[in-house]
Structure 1
């Protein structure tokens, strides 16, 4: 359903297991133990001196011949995962792509083999020990970058006390619950799945869903979410969603995508890596010949410098300039209640030009109340109020709850109500037609009606009209209060020179009043749901990177059309499904925070790339000048990789205003 533009938001899925710095597909613990064994053996060898003799069982041996096999053993043990990744992954990638696709580890392996060929055993061992050790440190640092993501993915699934038909209880796994099942939730227990409270009341801690640490009071009829924690009350909950449709399941599905969705920068680096390695492999023998015939080095020196070239030119640091930083940023956002589906969307956020907001439930609280009921024609008030009640009780319009709460329910009426999305509702009763709808740019029966509508709209109120047989009976005014967070967020976005737009189905006067209070730049009013996506597309056609923020079913096409669709956490399932990010706390200040994180991520990635390539250039130049030794080259090279990763980890820290 995504209508994302290729240039500005291309979703690319590359499983992390293909990335050489990730080891989910390997037994990391075993490799680390082998590495430590090799390291201990190497430390022991330091007590022996090359060239001296040693007597064992009366026989005299030269240490050199004893230590050489030991060095090979160390290389095998400590470098096992380097060898495995360098060779196995290269073979797999080559077979898959049907062309030689070397892993960056190949360069290090060749350098180590070259050092062995010229008899530099200790340097070969140091190369592998430092390279492999740095790799384990990289993994540790990368693990920190996904801490909050993993925390969300590892939310414990609880057990449920299922109420059987005979009233007895059975303990079952929460993911086996079906719609209609009733469960008993004890105080302090985790609510097993999404449902409606049918007995009891309690304070519910919803922090792991909404990010709000203060418990929320819930009573009969209220929605509760799986994995949230019940307080002191005893609850009976009727399940209303299957396990794969719960809010928690959707969060886990959404967050899981962050592991595989890479930014355009990461994808580009991924594509460049094998090409870069091939260039280095081709240039290495040329460099060897240049060393002998241009720089007049002897054969051993030229070969040694070529091995240092393989180390210095290896793009390890370049390979980690983006992914750890992006995962750190996404983890930071997850900790702050903002869930992103992947790095490609977060990268787009840094280039944001325009933000379009739905009004109801996004800029406003989403809980309007009736403030005015103006009867413009003498009528049977109680009867018409009852008609309004029953029409709206069968409506899915956001204003329906406010209207049914205000108007009294009289006798039961069996009405067949037609919902006209974006327009209103219609029914027929006793051969009379009834309509409830928002006034568009139309003229009514008399100027007085138009005047009343304008007055209400100028006060920032939403207006709906109740008609019988196409004659206006009542004009109803409702107000949906603006969120405090909306005021702060719009102010900050304006200060950041980002154009703010409101797209709403409300009448122009109402929309402009709300927009003026918020200082929103542009207003599109009287917009039908099908038109929202067209408005978003018009901005994109003008090469604007635009984000749509909304929460309703009618926002879904616009969310899908935008470069970055952002759904409010309280929104409908379909809005969350098609969005690229979710603000779990329904706080627009979190949107501004996301933009700041995205901008910082872009700066950090650029800094990392410049640093990584500067180090490579430094190693190459000093190697040509003959002042760079292999162990030092390894230390600088691997040190630069760690610096780049640690630089990315800066994004784990919450950004202050």
Structure 2
């Protein structure tokens, strides 16, 4: 037993020096190092404050100095590096100088608090920005790394050339854009078009990288290089949109540089001019310069925005809306146009049977029994929809079906009581027979253009037709009605055909729509709207919506959407309800009003303190009280948003 203990005690926790760096603990600490440093800095400040009376002066100073170094290192490094590389001053540098200035004349606690507040806000910003790194990873995971050539040899997708012939089996993703040379199947193109219903593909039809071959083996000839596929264009669009800086961000950066220059120049003059102009002693001159550096620091301005923003984010999260950053809460109130994807956003994303026309010689329950027996053998989305309808309408008796077969791109065939039954599209039952039944039943031609048709055929006779449609969410209609009343323009961008899009737009009372949209088309329409000086938000849920979500001023994803949509979006509707976006807009407007109040108040206090310092009406403690007091007040004002209903 003692030998076992010795072995355990002598065995290193990590077998080699790289194991620690690869461990989850190290990864977590490294990823959140700025936030951890800021919080630890705050803990040191709190400890110094609580133990001030019981600690020796030297120990107390060492604790606060540690808080300076730990909390301020990241921002000091960032400020100095950016100043050298961009050759312009920044707020990071000013905050560090203000803290050092306060400490230099004995106000260690005040300086440490300045460092803590600024370090914490910077850490939160860094944490939010790092979330975007997952977006492209999510996209890349959808594209296969290898492809199968005709000789069954596996090759890397990046090695494919135009003219290569590959095999794509059922259930596999298409590795590159190409044209089918042999085979027929249904392709799930939701990654590109966002449409839930698979597209029937036959010889000479195009297939696209990232889509899924649902059934049947395909032989495909590559006609586009792997780095130029439609899927790669989506990735490039997301990258480009994320790298573009918004006008407001550019303004903030210009203001930051100017503000720092003005403060530093003012402090520089304050260091010696009053001595010569007003006869101040050198002690008073330097003392007043240090007070100026403290009271002019933008601590209150930072607090004017961050607490209000975090309160708004917390409030909205409790109510089903997740903002990924404060700039999106602030920007939502300026939106005057909202573009919607159709499938899964305005609609439920699942087709339902809206109309059924059955030959008078057959009863609903009997047809439902037959459909349930046959369609229950398939996992195709349309088959599942028909199965749901049949389950709700069938008898308790069980119909026995034999020899069910999938007819690729057409439907299903089965044998019941020695008679063949067919369920599928026009091609399955025959175009002429389908049209004859449509006319005999008096089916509205507008309906079957807007909806998907499923036919039922017994032996040589078509006996039923079902119309399927992806229906609107109830809350979508209510949300759009409210947005219209608020003066916000509504637009629908969909990959569906024009007839279906027109019907949905009319039903939802949407101002305008664009049909047959590929991912780049949605981006184009959003840019056209932006050119008309409109602030545009995009709401979507699919992979195909990712470029549009990234391009819009604010991207909003449905909570049940694809991973890449959730990663790319700036806002997520957690509970999948469009009605939440209306409440989010109102919250954004309230937050912006509070921020404006805070900014005006904090600037007024700073100007008052600066003037009072110049007139020698305040000393350092009073300057710190005024400075920190204004900070506390704007924080409390911002926290009101936590209780806003």
Q: Say whether the 8 Å CA contact 2:311–2:642 is kept in structure 1.
A: yes
Output the CA distance in 1 between the equivalents of 2:462 and 2:520: 27
Output the CA distance in 2 between the equivalents of 1:404 and 1:507: 26
Matching residue within 34, 40, 65 for 1:26: 40
Q: Secondary structure at the match of 1:502?
A: strand
Unaligned 5+ residue runs, structure 1? 1-14, 42-69, 116-123, 150-261, 419-424, 438-443
Task: Write out aligned runs for 1:424-503 (5 A).
Answer: 435=425, 448=439, 452-454=443-445, 456=447, 462-464=451-453, 466=455, 475-478=465-468, 481-503=471-493
In structure 1, the partner of 2:575 is 585
Shift in Å, 1:402: 1.7
Q: Secondary structure at the match of 2:538?
A: strand
Q: Report which stretch shifted further, 263-272 or 480-489.
A: 263-272
Cα pair distance change 1:546/1:400, threshold 3 Å: farther
**TM-score by structure 2 length?**
0.59
Unaligned 5+ residue runs, structure 2? 1-30, 129-244, 391-398, 415-419, 428-433
Q: Secondary structure at the match of 2:404?
A: coil
Cα pair distance change 1:344/1:285, threshold 3 Å: closer
Matching residue within 80, 101, 104 for 1:94: 80
Q: Secondary structure at the match of 1:452?
A: coil
The alignment of Structure 1 onto Structure 2 pairs a total of residues equal to: 466
Shift in Å, 1:607: 2.9
Q: Secondary structure at the match of 2:297?
A: coil
Output the CA distance in 2 between the equivalents of 1:640 and 1:329: 21
Shift in Å, 1:499: 0.8
Deviations 1:125-162 (A, max 9, x none): xx43455468779999999x99xx9xxxxxxxxxxxxx
Shift in Å, 1:466: 4.9
Deviations 1:471-503 (A, max 9, x none): 999653235554332233122211211111234
| 1:362 correspondence with 2:348 | no
Q: Secondary structure at the match of 2:444?
A: helix
Q: Say whether the 8 Å CA contact 1:130–1:635 is kept in structure 2.
A: no
Shift in Å, 1:521: 1.9
Output the CA distance in 2 between the equivalents of 1:280 and 1:352: 35
In structure 1, the partner of 2:270 is 287
Q: Secondary structure at the match of 2:594?
A: helix
Output the CA distance in 1 between the equivalents of 2:342 and 2:553: 19
In structure 1, the partner of 2:605 is 615
Q: Secondary structure at the match of 1:318?
A: helix
Deviations 1:49-107 (A, max 9, x none): xxxxxxxxxxxxxxxxxxxxx76665554565246655785356425764686351422
In structure 1, the partner of 2:19 is none
Matching residue within 395, 405, 423 for 1:414: 405
Shift in Å, 1:426: 7.4
Shift in Å, 1:298: 3.3
Output the CA distance in 1 between the equivalents of 2:68 and 2:505: 59
Shift in Å, 1:305: 1.9
Cα pair distance change 1:527/1:306, threshold 3 Å: closer
Cα pair distance change 1:474/1:79, threshold 3 Å: same
In structure 1, the partner of 2:144 is none
| 1:340 correspondence with 2:330 | no
In structure 2, the partner of 1:12 is none
Deviations 1:401-454 (A, max 9, x none): 323433699434332534xxxxxx679999x997469xxxxxx96894997334
Q: Say whether the 8 Å CA contact 2:559–2:566 is kept in structure 1.
A: yes
Cα pair distance change 1:499/1:525, threshold 3 Å: same
In structure 2, the partner of 1:81 is 67
Shift in Å, 1:633: 0.6
| 1:107 correspondence with 2:98 | yes
| 1:304 correspondence with 2:287 | yes
Q: Secondary structure at the match of 2:443?
A: helix
Cα pair distance change 1:264/1:332, threshold 3 Å: farther
Matching residue within 625, 632, 640 for 2:622: 632
Cα pair distance change 1:576/1:388, threshold 3 Å: farther
Output the CA distance in 1 between the equivalents of 2:442 and 2:531: 39
Cα pair distance change 1:400/1:578, threshold 3 Å: farther
Q: Secondary structure at the match of 1:414?
A: strand
The structure whose residues are more often helix, as a share, is: 2
Output the CA distance in 1 between the equivalents of 2:68 and 2:98: 11
Q: Say whether the 8 Å CA contact 1:486–1:518 is kept in structure 2.
A: yes
In structure 2, the partner of 1:128 is 108
Output the CA distance in 1 between the equivalents of 2:101 and 2:549: 50
Shift in Å, 1:637: 0.7
Q: Say whether the 8 Å CA contact 1:457–1:507 is kept in structure 2.
A: no
Q: Say whether the 8 Å CA contact 1:376–1:449 is kept in structure 2.
A: no
Q: Say whether the 8 Å CA contact 2:294–2:624 is kept in structure 1.
A: yes
Task: Write out aligned runs for 1:43-192 (5 A).
Answer: 75-78=61-64, 80-82=66-68, 85=71, 89-90=75-76, 93-94=79-80, 98=84, 102-113=93-104, 115=105, 124=106, 127-130=107-110, 132=112
Output the CA distance in 1 between the equivalents of 2:629 and 2:115: 10
Q: Report which stretch shifted further, 521-530 or 640-649.
A: 521-530
Shift in Å, 1:366: 4.3
Q: Say whether the 8 Å CA contact 2:270–2:286 is kept in structure 1.
A: no
Output the CA distance in 2 between the equivalents of 1:572 and 1:337: 18
Output the CA distance in 2 between the equivalents of 1:543 and 1:391: 52
In structure 1, the partner of 2:302 is 319
Output the CA distance in 2 between the equivalents of 1:557 and 1:387: 40
Q: Secondary structure at the match of 1:628?
A: coil
Cα pair distance change 1:92/1:586, threshold 3 Å: closer
Q: Say whether the 8 Å CA contact 1:329–1:651 is kept in structure 2.
A: yes
In structure 1, the partner of 2:357 is 374
In structure 2, the partner of 1:393 is 378
Q: Say whether the 8 Å CA contact 2:102–2:111 is kept in structure 1.
A: no
Cα pair distance change 1:92/1:354, threshold 3 Å: closer
Shift in Å, 1:546: 2.2
Q: Say whether the 8 Å CA contact 1:31–1:80 is kept in structure 2.
A: no
**TM-score by structure 1 length?**
0.58
Output the CA distance in 1 between the equivalents of 2:552 and 2:411: 32
Output the CA distance in 1 between the equivalents of 2:403 and 2:389: 17
